[in-house]
């Protein structure tokens, strides 16, 4: 399945109210009708928070909410973008001069990421123009990957207009890379599940090389996706990239202390792989090597034997160069323990013990506690949602505990 290209199908627009409304709005906006439609779903990550960019497997599933784009190729070389949401203003640019402003993560820049990714993959200097009307029903900045779904959708739109073919894996890898044009140092989970998801199953997403394995969830379980309504735009703040850089620095310090070629190491998974030890052993190595107190940039430099200038220009991303403290111990502890929880979750699903729902719930509870305390990527509203879910879960028959999804954070 992953080696195949995205599925195509004929749709009777008149039979689908959303498509029909989009077609009518497209005609009103551009004075013509779309030639085709492209869809990419959002996702919810069941377990494996903030570890994809550290090289570790994650366990998401796609959701029904999606990005839908109506498209008409045009003979001009102008790219015209519009959105059904009036909060998002129209945008127009030359298809051959794509500029993405990292300082302003406006909605159209995510489309441009996908567009540019396909353009650069094929080495094309001249592209045809197109009119596009975007309709999304994924809550923005809610932790359900609305931005990545738009990048994926745009990549698929561009591929279709060009008449080119790529596998789902190739598309996912291109879109994961191209979303970094907007300044976020993501790991690829969001784009991978958007392309590789299948109905009726979650997926274990593994990297290097990218692959997806079905994970059958318990038939008696219901997964509730609750939106805390606290918005967090990854590209609009430095919070996300700071965590990425903290993990990178932790990997380099661990590698240095264990006698590895630290300057070549970027991800925590690489340290484990080079040492040839288990995740449990990596947790102990982290405990023995890193201290819980935050590291200053100066201390990091002393540990690595480099200058402050080298740290800022060769290791840190542009929007993390002025960070004053880095919590390396906490971030590494979260990553290694979360990576272990992902594997435990998959194992429980495969073995299907009688109390599997309770066991899975306990892992999700541990995941949230680690996100809250060690990775600090939760917020009071999400914590309250989790407490409410867990309280009412425990009031039931006692056969399950509810986990959570970090909406908005």
Neighbours of 298 (CB within 10 A): 10
Residue among 140, 328, 316, 102 at smallest CA distance from 227: 140
User: pLDDT per position in the chain (409 positions), as tens?
Assistant: 567 889 888 888 888 999 999 999 999 999 999 999 999 999 999 999 999 999 999 999 999 999 999 999 999 999 999 999 999 999 999 999 899 988 888 999 999 999 999 999 999 988 889 999 999 999 988 889 999 999 999 999 999 999 999 999 999 999 999 999 998 888 899 999 999 999 999 999 999 999 999 999 998 888 888 888 888 766 556 788 999 999 999 999 999 999 999 999 999 999 999 999 999 999 999 999 999 999 999 999 999 999 999 999 999 998 899 999 999 999 999 999 999 999 999 999 999 999 999 999 999 999 999 999 999 999 999 999 999 888 887 644 333 333 334 433 3
SS3 237: coil
Residue 7 has a pLDDT of: 85
The widest CA-to-CA distance across the chain, in whole angstroms, is 66
> Whole-prediction pTM value?
0.91
Centroid of chain to Cα 200: 21
Residue 231 has a pLDDT of: 81
**Cα radius of gyration rounded to whole Å, the chain:** 22
Give the separation between CA 286 and CA 232, rounded to whole angstroms: 29
Give the separation between CA 48 and CA 60, rounded to whole angstroms: 8
Give the separation between CA 172 and CA 176, rounded to whole angstroms: 6
**Hey, what's the torsion of the CAs at 276, 281, 283, 288, to 10 degrees?**
-100
Q: Which residues are the active-site residues?
A: 190
**Structural contact between residues 204 and 57, judged by C-beta atoms closer than 8 angstroms:** yes
Residue 408 has a pLDDT of: 38
Residue 234 has a pLDDT of: 62
The secondary structure of the chain in percent helix, strand, coil, rounded to multiples of 5, reads: 45, 15, 40
């Amino acid at each position: 399945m992953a080696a195949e290209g995205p599925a195509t199908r004929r749709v009777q627009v008149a039979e689908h109210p959303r498509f029909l409304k989009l077609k009518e709005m497209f005609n009103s906006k551009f004075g013509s009708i779309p030639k085709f439609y492209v869809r990419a779903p959002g996702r919810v990550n069941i377990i494996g928070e903030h570890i994809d960019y550290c090289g570790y497997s994650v366990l998401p599933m796609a959701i029904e909410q999606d990005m839908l784009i109506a498209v008409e190729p045009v003979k001009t070389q102008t790219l015209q973008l519009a959105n059904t949401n009036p909060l998002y203003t129209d945008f127009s640019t030359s298809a051959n001069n794509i500029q993405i402003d990292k300082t302003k993560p406006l909605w159209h820049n995510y489309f441009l990421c996908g567009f540019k990714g396909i353009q650069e993959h094929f080495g094309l200097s001249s592209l045809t123009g197109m009119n596009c009307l975007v309709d999304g029903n994924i809550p923005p900045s809610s932790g359900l990957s609305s931005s990545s779904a738009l990048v994926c959708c745009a990549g698929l739109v561009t591929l279709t207009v060009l008449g080119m073919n790529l596998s789902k894996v190739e598309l996912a890898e291109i879109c994961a890379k191209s979303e970094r044009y907007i300044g976020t140092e993501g790991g690829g989970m969001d784009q991978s599940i958007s392309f590789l998801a299948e109905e009726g199953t979650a997926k274990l997403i593994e990297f290097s090389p990218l692959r997806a394995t079905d994970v059958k969830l318990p038939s008696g379980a219901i997964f509730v996706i609750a939106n805390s309504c606290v918005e967090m735009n990854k590209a609009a703040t430095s919070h996300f990239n700071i965590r990425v850089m903290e993990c990178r620095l932790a990997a380099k310090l661990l590698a240095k202390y264990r006698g590895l070629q630290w300057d070549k190491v970027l991800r925590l998974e690489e340290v484990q792989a080079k040492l040839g030890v288990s995740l449990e052993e990596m947790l102990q190595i982290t405990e023995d090597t890193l201290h819980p107190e935050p590291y200053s940039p100066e201390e990091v430099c002393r540990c690595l034997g480099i200058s402050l200038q080298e740290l800022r220009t060769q290791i840190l991303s542009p929007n993390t160069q002025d960070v004053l403290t880095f919590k390396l111990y906490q971030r590494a502890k979260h990553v290694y323990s979360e990576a272990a929880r992902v594997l435990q979750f998959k194992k429980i699903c495969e073995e299907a013990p009688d109390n599997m729902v309770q066991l899975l719930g306990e892992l999700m509870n541990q995941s949230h506690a680690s996100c809250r305390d060690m990775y600090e990527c939760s917020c009071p509203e999400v914590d309250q949602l989790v407490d409410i879910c867990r309280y009412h879960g425990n009031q039931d028959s006692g056969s399950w505990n509810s986990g959570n999804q970090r909406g908005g954070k």
